[in-house]
Amino acid sequence: MEGGAYGAGKAGGAFDPQTFLRQPHTILRVLSWIFSIVVFGSIVNEGYLNNSEEGEEHCIFNSNHNACNYGITVGVLAFLSCLLYLALDVYFPQISSVKDRKKAVLSDIGISAFWAFLWFVGFCFLANQWQVSKQENDLLNERADAARAAITFSFFSIFTWVGQAFLAYQRYRIGADSALFSQDYTDPSQDSSMPYAPYTNEEDAADMMRTYQQPPPGDAFGAETQGYQTQNY
C-alpha cells in the first residue's frame, strides 16, 4: 500500500502506468471486468434456444427468462462499474481534498460489497436453474459450455469483488497521514539555520511575556528617593 492520504501521496504527482497496472486493486478490477464480459457475453450469444413449435426463444437456464435477464443485467452493470472505478483509480492521486478521497474510498467499499452480494445471488440462481433444466435436449447440451461458463465466472466474480472491498477497506484504515500534510512546516525556534532562538518552547515564551508585562511595584519610586533630603531655600 502506498503511503499518504487513503493510499495515495500528495496530489499532482505524475501518473505511472506500470505502477498503476501492478497495484492489487487494479488487477482485481481488470479481472472483474473480464469476468463480467464472459458472463453476459455467454448468455447473450448462446443463452437462448429457438423453439420451432412455439416460435419463440427460451432461456437455457430452465427456460427461465429471469435467470438470463439477471445474468445479463448484472454482467453489463458490473462491466460499467469496473470501467468507472478504473477511471477513478487513475484520477484518485490528483484529488487534493482529503474529504473527497474519503468519500471515494467509502463508495468503493460499498459498491464492491454490493456487487459481491449480487454475484453471489447470481451464482446461486443460475446454478440452481441449470441444475433443474431438462438435459435431454440436444441443443441444450451443445450450449452447456456457455451455461457453465456463466455460472463459473459468476462464482469467480464473488471473490474479485470481495477482494476489492477488502483492499478499499485497507485504504480507508490508512486514512489521512497528518505528517504528510504538515512535514513542510518547521518551528522557527527549532530551526538550526536561525541565528538566534530566544526560547525553546511555548512555556518559556509565555514566562518571558509575563515578565515584560508585569508593572513595577508601587513603592519602586519611593525606594529610590529614600535617604534624599529636600532642602528649603
Residue 200 covered by a domain:
no
Residue 206 covered by a domain:
no
Residue 132 covered by a domain:
yes
| pLDDT tens digits along 99-151 | 888 888 999 999 999 999 999 999 999 999 998 887 656 567 777 889 999 99
CA angle 66, 107, 119 (to 5 degrees): 25
Residue 221 covered by a domain:
no
Most confidently predicted of 47-56, 101-110, 200-209: 101-110
**Number of domains forming the structure of the chain:** 1
pLDDT of 4 higher than 50: yes
Residue 201 covered by a domain:
no
Residue 230 covered by a domain:
no
Residue 67 covered by a domain:
yes
Q: Say how far apart CA 68 and CA 116 lie, in whole Å.
A: 19
Q: Which residue has the cell 412455439?
A: 54
* Residue 188: per-residue pLDDT: 43
Q: Say how far apart CA 66 and CA 147 lie, in whole Å.
A: 14
| pLDDT tens digits along 170-196 | 888 877 554 344 444 344 444 444 444
Element (H, E) at 50: strand 48-51
Q: What is the dihedral of CA 104, 107, 113, 114, to 10 degrees?
A: -140
Binned at pLDDT 50, 70 and 90, residue 63 comes out as confident
* Residue 171: per-residue pLDDT: 85
How many alpha carbons lie under 13 Å from residue 124 in its C-beta half-sphere?
A: 5
Say if residues 158 and 118 touch (Cβ distance below 8 Å).
Answer: no
pLDDT of 199 higher than 80: no
Q: Say how far apart CA 186 and CA 176 lie, in whole Å.
A: 20
What pTM does this model have? 0.68
Say which range, 26-35, 120-129, 203-212, has the weakest mean pLDDT.
Answer: 203-212
- Determine phi and psi for 170, rounding to 5 degrees: -65, -40
Residue 172 covered by a domain:
yes
Query: Among residues of the chain, what percentage have pLDDT more than 70?
Result: 63
* Residue 137: per-residue pLDDT: 63
Domain range spanning residue 84? 17-178
